[in-house]
Amino acid sequence: MSIQLGPSKLEQPVILAPMSGITDLPFRRLVRGFGVDFAVSEMIASVGVVSGNRLSRERAISAPDEGLRVVQLAGCLPDAMAQAARLNQDHGADVIDINMGCPVKKVTRGHAGSALMKDEKLAGEIIKAVVKAVDLPVTLKMRTGWDEQNRNAPTLAKIAEDAGIQMLTVHGRTRNQLYNGTADWRFISKVKAAVSIPVIGNGDVTEVKDAADLLEQSGADGVMIGRGTYGRPWFIGQVDHYLKTGEQLPDPKMSQQFEIVTAHYDELLSHYGEERGLRTARKHIGWYSKGLPGSAEFRGKFNNIDNVKEAKTALDNFYQPLLERQAA
């Protein structure tokens, strides 16, 4: 199973989902180290890109060693979306992804994200504008619909294909579900039947076998994983290996996990600076440590540390007994 996107060929597509506040450059680099070719940026507001907003520019930052650079844009103004796509192309993007799936209120209140599924005409205009603006593959991420009574993903998928979209990703929930309930993988098969371009399935892949089940039930051409990577950047690599071989790889040994955690911590400090890097690291350290002995007490202490050296010492002290137990 492979997907051709412009000059790039994705073998056995297992993709890192765009996640605001998560899939920054340090996290994408980390996940790519486990064999992932396609890692999408955080959602970037198109109006912010056009106006030169600092946060929007920052989220679009990539690196020469990052491989395929995939930038996701959000917005409801066709001209702004087109201009933002051109600017990102000029700054080295390889793929532009359009966000029509974000369910968060502050996005949908602005008629962006999954709110665009309620306005197929405007959605189509945005897609056409972006496709026309760049000489890059353009992809689209959406949900099954706004609510249970309006699951129009197959219709929007066909509109997108006719407008030049080269790949679709469908999260198997409606916007109104947010992240409640379960993802409807079988519904994704209706999108797959409506178009001839590749369709990627997304939602509720937290174990390696979930990916195989999603592909079987949806008929999708690949799988996108988001929240399943929290505290487990190696998980996508495990999924990729399982789909290729049928073998389930074990989690990294505690010594390897500690190396991953500390490398991620150092990268965040380098990328954001000490103060902001430490704030950003807190959520990741919380996910990494979840379920380990003494983790609740450790997180309570770590989240109240404002000095990077003290934070690193606390991290070392938490993992040291776990490493000694592994070595015994």
d(CA 238, CA 319) in angstroms, rounded, equals 23
Paired residues of 138 in beta bridges: 96
Q: Catalytic residue, from 31, 77, 84, 102: name it.
A: 102
Q: Which residues contact 258 (CB under 8 A, 6 or more apart)?
A: 319, 322, 323
Q: Which residue in 262, 242, 95 sits closest to 167, CA to CA? A: 95
End-to-end alpha carbon distance in the chain: 43
What Rg value do the Cα atoms of the chain yield, rounded?
Answer: 20
The pair of three-digit structure tokens given for residue 271, joined into one six-digit string? 């990328």
The pair of three-digit structure tokens given for residue 234, joined into one six-digit string? 């190696």
Identify whether 102 is a catalytic site residue: yes
Give, in degrees to the nearest 5, the angle at Cα 143 between 138 and 146.
125
Give me the helix-helix angle, 254-272 and 308-327, nearest 10°.
170
Distance from chain centroid for Cα 120:
24
Asked if residues 121 and 155 have their Cβ atoms less than 8 Å apart, the reply is no
Catalytic residue list: 102
